[in-house]
Amino acid sequence: MNKILTEKYSIDKHLQFEEGPAGFSRAILTHDSGARCEIYLYGAHCISWKTPDGRELLFLSRKAAVTDGAPIRGGIPIIFPQFGSGPLIKHGFARINFWDVAETGISERGEIFLKLRLRTTNAIYDIWQHHFILEYTIILSESLTTSLRVLNNGDSLFSFASAFHTYFNAGDVRDSSIEGLIGCEYIDLIRESRRDNEKENQLFISGTIDRIYLNTPRDLILHNRRMKHRITIKKVGFKDVVVWNPWEEGSKKIKDLEDMDYLSMLCIEAAHCQPQCTLAPGEFWLGVQVLQYIRE
């Protein structure tokens, strides 16, 4: 598998394929600045994004399993076509399917890109009777851009939810805050889905949080005081933002997290989940997230 991928898609010094646990292939992207990221074809799952000075900006659980049928705990899981629980497997099937490489390259500005594709298979059609093509493009420069294009290539309408369920390396989550959500209405999933409005300019996390913020602004900032940096999060197409941290009790209940992992992670998820997005035949939706690291 890696031999074929290497022959067809590798780029000298910039994009290589490796075999991870269970023989799963992953792509390693390296930008001229020294920035680096790693993506499994399984789930189109980015598990690592490193700055030119070698700082890891994503959280990946040491207990993360990379095995067929299970999602990888950490990095950037892709949620599609269902957010949370429902008729399908939790958070949908995109994160537990093998994606194909569609294209790789270097732009005129020296950005390295990898495009992955997932389309309806017989096994997927058995559980979700729609025809779609997903294209996930990851672009590495000094920043990390990810985009998801959802095309309805069938002959009937379908609705879906989607998210980049990004696990940021929080350093210590108690010293992190999210800026940009003030005034936004949210659904509080740990309080019987009660609705409220965000009152904090800097949202600090000091306990379990699981909220869907609705119709959020394009720009957010994650301040990471412990690691002395901030990450700007720009998103287009994803109108919602999910903020999740299971805190200590929650971490203990999640088998692929260590008990204290809640301190090291913070999920800020560019999402389109409330309401779902509907596509007529031939229509597509595009969601983009741009993450930029700024050292302080």
Cβ-proximal residue to ligand TA6, closest one: 244
The verdict on whether 283 is a catalytic residue reads: no
The verdict on whether 31 is a catalytic residue reads: no
Number of residues this chain uses to bind ligand TA6 (CB under 6 A)? 10
Assess 211 for contact with ligand TA6 (CB under 6 A): no
Length of the chain counted residue by residue: 296
Query: According to CB under 6 A, which residues from 114 to 143 bind ligand TA6?
Result: none
Q: How far is the CB of 137 from ligand TA6 (least distance, A)?
A: 22
Assess 244 for contact with ligand TA6 (CB under 6 A): yes
Q: How far is the CB of 156 from ligand TA6 (least distance, A)?
A: 28
Structure tokens at 134: 């997903």
Q: Residue type at 115? A: K
Q: How far is the CB of 57 from ligand TA6 (least distance, A)?
A: 19
Structure tokens at 107: 């732009």
Q: How far is the CB of 246 from ligand TA6 (least distance, A)?
A: 7
- The string of DSSP letters for the chain reads -HHHHHHHH-BTTTEEEEE-GGG-EEEEEE-TTS-EEEEETBTTEEEEEE-TT--B-B-B-TT----TTS--SBSBPEE-S--SSSSSSTT-SGGGSBPEEEEEEE-TT--EEEEEEEE--HHHHHHS---EEEEEEEEESSSEEEEEEEEE-SSS-EEEEEEE--EEE-SSGGGEEEES-TT-EEEETTTTTEEEE---SEEE--S-EEEEE-S--SEEEEEETTTTEEEEEEEES--EEEEEE-HHHHHHH-TTS-TTGGGTEEEEEEEEEEEEEEE-TT-EEEEEEEEEEEE-
Q: Give the residue, chosen from 91, 230, 235, 239, that forms a contact with ligand TA6 under the rule CB under 6 A.
A: 91
Assess 43 for contact with ligand TA6 (CB under 6 A): no
Q: Which is nearer to ligand TA6, 50 or 91 (CB)?
A: 91
Nearest residue to 146 via CA among 165, 132, 118, 160: 165
Assess 71 for contact with ligand TA6 (CB under 6 A): yes
Assess 74 for contact with ligand TA6 (CB under 6 A): no
Assess 242 for contact with ligand TA6 (CB under 6 A): yes
Q: Give the residue, chosen from 111, 135, 261, 269, that forms a contact with ligand TA6 under the rule CB under 6 A.
A: 269
Active-site choice (31, 165, 223, 272): 165
Assess 84 for contact with ligand TA6 (CB under 6 A): yes
Q: Which is nearer to ligand TA6, 78 or 288 (CB)?
A: 78
Q: Which is nearer to ligand TA6, 17 or 93 (CB)?
A: 93
Active-site choice (111, 135, 269, 272): 269
Assess 210 for contact with ligand TA6 (CB under 6 A): yes
Applying CB under 6 A, which residues contact ligand TA6? 71, 84, 90-91, 165, 189, 210, 242, 244, 269
Active site residues: 165, 269
